[in-house]
A and B are shown apart, each in its own frame.
Chain A
């Protein structure tokens, strides 16, 4: 760790500041919580006959329910990206968007909110996906599902 800091210090003060701003205990909590969510998925795969697509659906729906109940926010506060990067975080984000939009514009917000909050990243995703699809080769099966 000291060595890394020294190397970065030689390269410039600005990066040094960035490394010092990292909250390492949050990083550790992120690692543990993110890992545990993945372990739940792994147990579901090994112990039940659920296909991977069903597990993805299950995680997103679970995230929406927990996000709607307001419980998932505590996990996000505790673990940062350990909670937002797994698919439950995606679901919680959808629920949060729907609730925020309802507060702003009433019933119509329930229909707009979920998609609205995901719109920015979705559009970027399409671009990435098209690019990688354009360069991808059909040599063998690439899916992990």
Chain B
């Protein structure tokens, strides 16, 4: 009797065979267009800031603040998850996904109170991102300090 659950290897093959193939090409096209569109919104804001006389660094800051503001607002209005369902990585990889990853757990745990619910659960997904990003930047700084 050939049981598909015999060994872990067989089981994972069985699961791969049974689970529907995600249309990777279609997903990539959606991600490409929506991700590119979000970046273009950023570029548009960037040009606007430039035309108002801000320098490059300040313009980049304004761009990320506005995009994060929009993403936070859309998440609160329950629209961002609908975009995310279609776009996949297209809305995850730009800074909007980062904003969504902070706002959504915080809203979910709002019922646990503002200190431990919102304040504590805010960084469940974004915490690792910040920890590893900032740790890596410290290492880069130290390497630069000692070897360059």
B-binding residues in A (CB < 8 A): 17-18, 21-23, 26-27, 30-47, 52-53, 55-57, 59-61, 63-65, 67-68, 80-82, 84-87, 89-91, 93-95, 97-99, 101-102, 106-107, 109-111, 113-115, 120-121, 124-125, 128-133, 135-145
Contact = CB atoms under 8 A, between A and B. Distances in A.
A91 B22 CA distance: 30
Given A39-B32, A144-B92, A84 B133 contact: no
A114 B65 contact: no
9 contacts: A32-B36, A42-B89, A64-B133, A82-B36, A82-B39, A90-B95, A115-B134, A133-B106, A145-B125
A17 to B, nearest CB: 7
Interface in B84-124: 84-85, 88-95, 97-108, 110-111, 118, 122
Contact of B33 (A35, A57, A67): A35
Interface string B109-148: 0110000001000100110110011101110111111000
B interface: dominant SS:
helix
Contact of A120 (B36, B61, B145): B61
B54 interface: no
Interface residues of B, number: 81
Given A86-B93, A114-B141, A132-B76, A91 B133 contact: yes
A interface: dominant SS:
helix
A52 to B, nearest CB: 6
Interface of B: 22, 24, 27-28, 31-40, 42-44, 46-48, 50-51, 60-61, 63-65, 67-69, 72-73, 75-78, 80-81, 83-85, 88-95, 97-108, 110-111, 118, 122, 125-126, 128-129, 132-134, 136-138, 140-145
Contact of B73 (A36, A132, A139, A142): A132
